[in-house]
Structures are given as structure tokens and as C-alpha cells.
Chains A and B, each alone.
Chain A
Amino acid sequence: MAKIQLNGKKITINSKSSIQDLLKKHNLINKKIAIELNGIIIPKIKFKKKYLKNKDKVEVVHFIGGG
């Protein structure tokens, strides 16, 4: 198990979870989103191979209405 912060909330995930696994768990596969891991943007092609570790900070953003 690993404790990470996802969009400011502390959550526990299985160890050896990739970003792809995290997205799957939250119904975010194939959605228009972008990911930042510890302040660094992760390109889509790396989602499957990028594994998460304890204390990682993940930000998942999307487009919302705005002027």
C-alpha cells in the first residue's frame, strides 16, 4: 500500500499502481485530462509505465466552464 495525495486529498492505493491504474479507478480513462506528478507534467504515453510511490502528489485537471 502507498499513501498519496490526489487533488489535495489523501488516499491509499495499492503498491505498484500506475497512473493508468489510478485513472481507471476514477473513471477517467479517455477523458480530456492532464496529470501533474510532484509538480511535473506527465505525458499521456507515460501513464502506463509511471508507477506511484508513497507521498507522491498527483494533480488531475480538466476543462470546466470559464470566461
Chain B
Amino acid sequence: MGTILFELALTFYFAATIVGIVELFKGRKITSRIMLSFVLIGFILHTANITYRYIVAGYIPITNFHEATSFFSWCIVLIFFILQFRYRVSLLSPFVMPIVFVLMLSSSMLPQEIKPLSPVLQSYWLGIHTVIAFLGNAAFALASGVGTMYLVQEHYVKSKHLGGLFVRLPSLQTLDELNYRLITLGFPLLTLAIITGSLWAESAWGSYWRWDPREVWSLITWFIYAIVLHARLTAGWRGRRAAILSIIGFLTILVAFFSIKLLRKGLHVFL
């Protein structure tokens, strides 16, 4: 049942990604509507899948790699909808849905069985820490999507070739502000995630910080986004530079996320 919901959600996200790519080349109102409804259906199924796992397992389903990747995608889609309805950013979906689809696809290839919770995870910190961390990462994911849109649009304006997506992409200022807003949303969440993580570590292992790879990577990403914000406020690093940094930041998150899994080292092995 849970698997079927997940596979269906994945299918709808895939369809939305395809329609999103079609939208890039042939922009019509209808494609964007179809795309949004596919994402919405996918999101509902996805939410049902997560709820189902929660009910069956009895704990927040962010305890293995499959669940984590799936929840990560869920957060991205959630923030995507908030952006879509608050700011009506045109063409956002073709730049975001591929990320969601790839994450979901990797999630689908990981073992999905529901196991009893290992004792170290049996803590109220599980819900708090992971939800905060993934919401923050999702905000960064969207910031990188918006940053990519900025770079594309800037390329049109700088090179003076005003064809292609120029007309349909939002203005540079809109994209830059959105990028900034998403990072100012993600950064406090990341900070909180690191704090809650170390509190949890203290209660589970008796020390706040043990330089485990997960912790190191979080610190690296924290510094990257701290630089983005700092440079913006002091040296006026906005626009292109901010966009590039937000893409680098998100790539760091992805590398950290997947390399820890592949290397299977450190205390976060379950994730």
C-alpha cells in the first residue's frame, strides 16, 4: 500500500517533469496548468505515503535513507507550492521538478521496508531535528532552482539575445529577491538543525560535537550560506554571484547527503 502510493507519486512527479520540460520549449497556459495539477496529485499521494508510513511504524518516517530522500522531496514540493501561490513565479516548475524527480527516483531504488526503530533514534529530537533540517535544505534547493533561472535570464539580458525564455522568465530583480528570501529562510533552519542535532547528540552519545562527517558537511554548508548572506549585505554580492553561490551551496548539500550514504561512515550511518 505504502509502496503503491510512493510509486504513484513518483509517476506523477515524472509526468510533471516531462510536461515542465515541454513547457520550457512551448509555453502555453495549458501546459503550466497540467503540470501544476500533476504536481498536486503527486504531492497528495506522496503525503498519503508518508502518513501511511507514520501510522504503520508509529514514528516519524525519516529514519532510513529511503525515507529521508522521500521527505526531502516532499519538503521541496511543499515550498514550491508556497512560492507558486504567493509569488506566481512563471516557469519555476521546469527548474525545480527535475530535482524532485531525481531525488524521488533515488529514493525509490533504496530499501523501503519499515523496521523497528533503533534505540538511538527513539527520541523526540528525531522529529524536530529532521523536519527542520529538511525544510532548510528544501529552501536551499529552491534557491538553487531560482538561481539557475536568474543565470539563464541574465545571460539573455547581457548577451542582448532576447529570444527563447526571455519573455516568459520573471525579471532579474524578482529572481534575485526570491533567491535571497529563500536563503534567509533556509539559513536559520540550517542553524537550528545544527543546534538541535548537537543537543540530540549530547542526549544520545553524551557529547555535542564529534566531527562526524555529517556534522562537518553541515558546517561547510553553513559557512557557504553564511558567506552568501554576509557578502550580500556588506559587499553587495547579489545577482549573478549570489545565484552561483546558491547553486554551489545546494550541490554541497547533495554531495554531503549522498556521499555519507555511500561511504557508510560516521554516526549518521542510518541516514
B and A form one assembly: no
- Residues on B facing A (Cβ under 8 Å): none
- Residues on A facing B (Cβ under 8 Å): none
